[in-house]
Structure 1
Amino acid sequence: MKKSLNCPYSMIDQEIICEHKMARVTPEDINTVHNHDGYEVVLFLKGDVNIMIEPELFKMKRGDMFFISPLVFHGIDLEDITGYERIVINVQYEYLKNLGDAETDFSTLFRNCDSANMNHLRIPEESISKFISIAGKLEEALHSKSYGHSVLSKAYLAEFLLLTCKYSENVPPQKKRSSMPVVVSKILDYIDTHLSEDITINAMSAELHYSSDHLSRAFSEATGDSLKHYINAKKIALAQKLLLQNNSPYDVCFMVGYNNYSSFSRRFSKQIGMSPKQFQLSYRAS
């Protein structure tokens, strides 16, 4: 992946975003691993692409549909930048929560027995056109100004997800073989295990029995991000979850392994675009 140390977090600023992306992709379009505050669905249609959804890396095949949970880091690695076609749907957390009812919890699509972070289905070739058609209607409704377009958008999103549920029930979960390098898998496991501590690359190096230079280089080559930057980004993602659980910003600082509130608040503000307190209040208000 191309190395890019831009802010890895983005807020989904619309209730629903749906895009059928067919344009050529240039190297400048490739971002490092990132996360969102809402849900993401990716239906892969064409290209030579690997997708990284922490902590694994998969070769994508036509008909692969990935469901990525909020705040989970993910990114793409393009083997060939000349043709990458996919449908991407982003949905705000609260919107998806309210889309179903007591009997229909669409959030279950975004996890499975092996992972709370993601789910993966393979859509058969003969059914892909159905999903493309519904996504096209959804995208058209989202860009329309006609009376009732928001109701139509909600209906098409529900139809898309209900059709997905049908395949989720009738198609066994895909057995995925991750192509993530072993050393990077060990790094990701180490970070998850020690996320509430003050993680240093030297301590990680001693425990994993690799040099710090090797760890940093292997991680950067696999993810496009620097190891130090990713550790901080993961801590801030955990801090977001803890803040949304109504823990005080001061307590959260130490719960995610920072020893100084000013440093924590500065890092949080740089990554999220607002202070921990402002973030907490903004979600309470919404």
Structure 2
Amino acid sequence: MNTYQKTGYLTENFRYFHLQTTSRQDFHYHYHEFYKILFFLKGDVIYHIEGRAFHLLPGDIVLIPAEEIHCPQLQSDTCYERQILYLSSTFLKSFQDNDLSLCFTNARKRQSYVMRVPSLYQKHIWDILLCLEDEIKENSLYAGKFYQETLVSQLLILLNRAALNQQSIYPDNTCQNEKILFILDYINKHLSDNLTIDNLSERFFISRYHLMHLFKASTGYTVGNYITIKRLFFAKALIQSGTPVTEACYLSGFQNYSTFSRAYKKHFHTSAKNREFSNGHNGNSMVE
């Protein structure tokens, strides 16, 4: 059974990277336990997020909520350049009445994770990123960390304003098989139900073999593994909100507590009874 790596780590409010990949290489499907923004500068890239595919253009902003499975696919040897921000959920929700994760929520509701902002916003955003990069390089400046967080806060305010602006464009998904999107949507809305390949194939009028083949080809992962990982995320959210562990186990669709407990510990590297989570990583140092 395929597994999807939790990559990167985050122990601060944010981390910033400016990256270039100068030759074509394969990236694996992965997820993070924090939010990610990718500012696309150049390249020939299709970005896959939860079964959807987006052909990126320079200036595109990719908004990836925590725990969404994603992967860039390089189409040629053209240099792939991007700026990336990792953001903790605590930081995004720490601004009193202003939830700066709104842009991610909107992207998820629209089922489009890519935003193309009006030119006025774009100029301000790139100016802030340039200033942030300079500040990080000059790490010894007075109140450097505080000023960096101030810049990131300004950036998030602009992104959320852009997300609410009617002139911002959310490109359509370019996935060639729309049926897989309906199946993904159904799975995520019915995690507590008895989800099996046979049930799904019957509901969506598709053969068992064709469903497994299509799901893997369209998303990069198996039906069973996708359901398991989403149930674990759901259970984690329930536990962190105060739901008793045993109740969370069954509410998230697991039929056996021992199976749930083992899977939870293997996946999150902690017991389900431990409500504390870090954004640590699993030893893989790849950044994307």
- When normalised by structure 1's length, the TM-score is 0.84
Matching residue of 1:195: 191
Whether the 8 Å CA contact 1:110–1:116 is kept in 2: the answer is no
Matching residue of 1:43: 39
Deviation at 1:188, TM superposition (A): 0.5
Partner Cα separation in structure 2 for residue 209 and residue 203 of structure 1: 10
Deviation at 1:67, TM superposition (A): 2.1
Amino acid across the alignment from 1:89: L
Equivalent positions of 1:87-106 (< 5 A) are 87-98=83-94, 100-102=95-97, 104-106=98-100
Deviation at 1:157, TM superposition (A): 0.4
Partner Cα separation in structure 2 for residue 26 and residue 277 of structure 1: 43
Matching residue of 1:74: 70
- Correspondence for 2:262 among 266, 273, 284: 266
Partner Cα separation in structure 1 for residue 122 and residue 243 of structure 2: 44
Aligned residues: 276
Partner Cα separation in structure 1 for residue 9 and residue 270 of structure 2: 12
Indicate whether 1:156 and 2:151 are aligned. yes
Amino acid across the alignment from 1:248: P
Deviation at 1:140, TM superposition (A): 4.7
Partner Cα separation in structure 2 for residue 9 and residue 202 of structure 1: 32
- Correspondence for 1:183 among 179, 183, 192: 179
- Correspondence for 1:247 among 239, 243, 250: 243
Output one character per residue of 1:96-129: Cα deviation in whole Å (capped at 9) or x when no partner. 212x343x33122222287077654313567646
Gaps of 5+ in 1: none
- For the aligned residue pairs, the C-alpha RMSD in angstroms reads 2.8
Output one character per residue of 1:232-256: Cα deviation in whole Å (capped at 9) or x when no partner. 1111111121112111111111011
Matching residue of 2:28: 31
* Bigger mean CA offset, 67-76 vs 244-253: 67-76
Matching residue of 2:79: 83
Matching residue of 2:281: none
Output one character per residue of 1:61-115: Cα deviation in whole Å (capped at 9) or x when no partner. 12111222222333222222542111111111111212x343x331222222870
Indicate whether 1:237 and 2:230 are aligned. no
* Bigger mean CA offset, 217-226 vs 67-76: 67-76
Q: Counting helix residues as a fraction of each chain, which structure ranks higher?
A: 1
Where 2:229 maps in the other structure, the secondary structure is helix
Inter-CA distance 246–64: structure 2 relative to 1 (3 Å threshold): same
Equivalent positions of 1:200-211 (< 5 A) are 200-211=196-207
Whether the 8 Å CA contact 1:63–1:124 is kept in 2: the answer is no
Partner Cα separation in structure 1 for residue 261 and residue 6 of structure 2: 17
Where 1:191 maps in the other structure, the secondary structure is helix
Partner Cα separation in structure 2 for residue 147 and residue 113 of structure 1: 36
Matching residue of 1:53: 49
Amino acid across the alignment from 2:184: L
Deviation at 1:19, TM superposition (A): 1.0
Partner Cα separation in structure 2 for residue 243 and residue 229 of structure 1: 21
Inter-CA distance 7–136: structure 2 relative to 1 (3 Å threshold): same
Whether the 8 Å CA contact 2:162–2:168 is kept in 1: the answer is no
Gaps of 5+ in 2: 279-288
Output one character per residue of 1:185-222: Cα deviation in whole Å (capped at 9) or x when no partner. 13202312321123211221122121222111112122
Inter-CA distance 113–67: structure 2 relative to 1 (3 Å threshold): closer
* Bigger mean CA offset, 218-227 vs 262-271: 218-227
Inter-CA distance 45–8: structure 2 relative to 1 (3 Å threshold): same
Equivalent positions of 1:97-176 (< 5 A) are 97-98=93-94, 100-102=95-97, 104-112=98-106, 115=109, 120-124=114-118, 128=122, 130-142=124-136, 144-176=139-171
Whether the 8 Å CA contact 2:187–2:227 is kept in 1: the answer is yes
- When normalised by structure 2's length, the TM-score is 0.83
